[in-house]
Amino acid sequence: MASSTRRTAPDHEQTGWPEGVGYIVGNEGCERFSFYGMKSILQVHLTALFVLGAATQNMAETHAQELVHLFIAGVYAFPMIGALIADRLWGKYNTILWLSLVYCAGHGVLAMADDTLPGMYVGLTLIAIGSGGIKPCVSANVGDQFGKGNWSLVTKVFQLFYFIINFGSFFATLAIPWMKANYGASVAFAVPGLLMFIATIVFWMGRDKYVHIPARPGGRLGVLDALSSSFLFMGVIGLPLFFTDMLSPIALIAAMVASAGVGLALFVARQRLAADDGFLAVMFEGVRSLLNGEGRKAAAAAAPPTDEFDLGRHWFFAGAVKRYGQEIAEGPMAVLRIISVFFLVSVFWALFDQHASSWIRQAQRMDLHLDALGMSLDLLPSQIPALNPLMVMLLIPFNNFVIYPGIQRLGISPTPLRRMSVGMLVAAAAFAIVAIIQAAVDVGLESGDKVHVLWQIIPYLVMTEAEVLVSITGLEFAYTQAPARMKSTIMGFWLLTVAFGSKLVVFVTGLPDMGLANFFWVFAALMTGAALLFILRASFYKGKDYGQ
């Protein structure tokens, strides 16, 4: 099939699986092996590099933990820019393909310069750009393959998607730390790079089988859209997220104002060429009409609302409805509505991503020797997080076939927001458990009687159940609640909550005299508070399923 005849819309008569889904799922499995394999050894490897730089062991662990979470923040912040590039300029397919090559380059740098901190900084930055750039596009791209006839399969495909992610993660988290211990860091970083290259090839092989939703507007206007939005994003979010410790407050504020100013100037230039009707245009029209009184007049003149999502008389969007129409104005409103729920999920991600940092630090202080099935093994601290993806693969079917039907038989509907609410409370319980274990670890270190690492199975099981309740549900919720032209953008906002969560970990890690036990209790308390606020917000949320 020639590229000129590639489908730009799904077949709404098709009731089975779209033919391109297999390539997308295969690509995701290889890419996740690559990412989680590399991520699994970061805490231990960076700690060793900081020790070589004359830091004490405790300080080296702290610096490594901060860098791991800054990297994670980058991986999950760049999706905002990747979503803009995909939606406005390149389309999802081209964005995934080209940024995957940047991703591969980052792995190459890690493999060749693994013994230097500057090499790690460069490699991790490239991976953050590559991985982050494709993240919002991959999940949105898989949803784009489905039409009205097979829309009922969307829930299953997201569950399959999550299963293959954890399938790759499980084997990577076992294998890559072992490779590092036996063959060195260079090989351990090279193998994930090879898997990422294979992932890119697999994705490219399915190019003529996908539904290619075209970027709009593309061309010169698309360039201006991507640039203006990227500068605005960096001014408002990117710079304060990554440069608070690198710039003085005055320099940071000046850089934020300059970046936002450039973004605004580019946006105005774009509007003069051709008026846009995207997120920024609608929001600016809402502000403009609110300030000059046109919005109030438009609201007064509008017909009575036909339903609860009719914005004709809305205090902010009435002017935008008059200029762009109800359907266009409804997109940004849906985004804001979802964001009002999402932002509290950031605390959940702050807890979850500590599998790669503080929980490994705890495992390093525990008894890692294991006698099982006639074998005597010495486990590696970086291998323990493999419990998480293994448990995910077991808990997904258990929840789907036992927990959720059981709850329904009790007359309670396990809606997405209810599942997420329970999941956040479960996450708080996981950190309370790990804090109790850490207290016992500290006592054991003083007495010379180490606590066995198998005790970590309990918090891993609890935290993984929280992940299944929050993460899978949130992914589905984000896609179905976003209008078609906003799907990649809303995925970017969903992933941005992970970046904010990692930034929270960096902040708490930097607090003085923060032992691991107290560190865990702080996050248990933060999660409990966030969960209660989430439950309150969810009780007032009124959503709309946009489907395909």
Q: What is the pLDDT of residues 247-288, one digit of tens each?
A: 999 999 999 999 999 999 999 999 999 988 878 889 989 999
User: Is-contact 391 460, C-beta < 8 A?
Assistant: yes
Q: Is the pLDDT of residue 411 over 70?
A: yes
510 assigned to some structural domain:
yes
More confident site: 211 or 529: 529
3-state helix, strand, coil in the chain (%, to 5): 75, 0, 20
| Higher per-residue confidence, 54 vs 371 | 371
Residue finishing a domain among 338, 360, 377: 338
CB 298 within 8 A of CB 318: yes
| Cα distance between residue 296 and residue 307, in whole Å | 20
Is 418 found in the same domain as 292?
A: no
Establish if 11 belongs to a structural domain.
no
Paired strand residues for 376: 371
DSSP tally for the chain: helices H, then strands E: 24, 2
pTM exceeds 0.85 for this model: yes
Per-residue pLDDT, averaged over 468-490, amounts to: 79
Q: Is the same domain home to 151 and 31?
A: yes
DSSP state of 375: E
Say yes or no: 205 and 344 in one domain.
Answer: yes
One domain for residues 53 and 31: yes
- Helices 487-509, 117-144: axis angle to 10 degrees equals 150
Cα 49 vs. chain centroid, distance in angstroms? 27
Cα four-point dihedral sign 357, 63, 189, 184: negative
Residue 281: which domain range?
Answer: 253-338
CA dihedral of residues 173, 178, 181, 183 (deg, nearest 10): -110
Q: H or E stretch including 359?
A: helix 358-364
Nearest Cα to Cα of residue 426 among 518, 508, 535, 543 = 535
Both structure tokens of 259: 């970046």
* Residue 302 and residue 447 in one domain: no
d(CA 22, CA 245): 44
Task: Quick: pLDDT tens for 70-120.
Answer: 999 999 999 888 888 888 899 989 999 999 999 999 999 999 999 999 999
As a whole number of angstroms, the distance between CA 365 and CA 292 comes to: 63
Q: Mind listing the pLDDT tens digit for each residue in 139-174?
A: 778 888 888 888 888 877 877 877 788 888 999 999
Q: Token pair of 521, please?
A: 């209790």
End residue of a domain, out of 297, 316, 338: 338
Residue of higher predicted confidence among 502 and 86: 502
Are 132 and 77 in contact by the 8 Å Cβ rule? The answer is yes
Same domain (yes/no): 411, 360:
yes
Whether residue 258 is found in the same domain as residue 373: no
What does pLDDT average to over the chain?
90
Separation of CA 322 from chain center:
35
φ/ψ region of 513 (left if φ > 0, alpha if ψ in -120 to 50, else beta) reads left
Task: Write the DSSP symbol of residue 284.
Answer: H
State mean pLDDT over 336-340.
87
Transcribe 455-474 into DSSP letters.
GGHHHHHHHHHHHIIIIIHH
Contacts 24+ apart (CB under 8 A), 285-289: 285/319, 285/320, 285/323, 285/324, 286/316, 286/317, 286/319, 286/320, 288/319, 289/318, 289/319, 289/320, 289/322, 289/323
Phi then psi for residue 370, to 5 deg, are -135, 125
Domain contains 218: no
> Of 290, 309, 338, which residue constitutes the final position of a domain?
338
Tell me how many domains the chain contains: 2
Mean pLDDT for 54-83 is: 91
Report how far residue 99's alpha carbon sits from residue 480's, in angstroms, rounded to the nearest whole number: 26
> Rounded CA gap, 523 and 433, in Å?
12
477 three-state secondary structure: helix
Residue with the bigger pLDDT between 345 and 542: it is 345
In a domain, 473, yes or no: yes
List, in sequence order, every residue forming a beta bridge with 372; answer none if it has no partner. 375
Q: Is residue 63 part of a domain?
A: yes
Residues 351 and 487 in one domain: yes
Residue 360 placed within a domain: yes
DSSP letters for 84-132: HHIIIII-HHHHHHHHHHHHHHHHHHHHHSTTSHHHHHHHHHHHHHHHH
| Percent of the residues in the chain that have a pLDDT greater than 90, as a whole number | 61
CB 357 within 8 A of CB 46: no
- Examine the domain organization and report whether 258 and 323 are in the same domain: yes
Name residue, tokens 């009409």: 289
Per-residue pLDDT at 201: 94
- Domain-located, residue 454: yes
> 511 φ, ψ to 5°?
-70, 145
Answer yes or no: is 102 within a domain: yes
Q: Which pLDDT band holds residue 2 (cuts at 50, 70, 90)?
A: very low
**CATH code for the domain in which residue 446 is found:** 1.20.1250.20
**Is a pLDDT exceeding 90 seen at residue 245?**
no
284 and 428 share one domain: no
Q: What is the pLDDT of residues 413-470, one digit of tens each?
A: 888 899 999 999 999 999 999 999 999 999 999 988 999 999 999 999 999 999 999 9
Do 324 and 418 sit in the same domain of this protein?
A: no
pLDDT of residue 373: 67
Kindly state whether residues 278 and 357 are assigned to the same domain. Answer: no
Give the model's pLDDT for residue 150: 86
Task: Give the C-alpha distances (Å, rounded to integers) separating 349 from 29, 39, 147, 222, 495.
Answer: 21, 16, 32, 32, 10
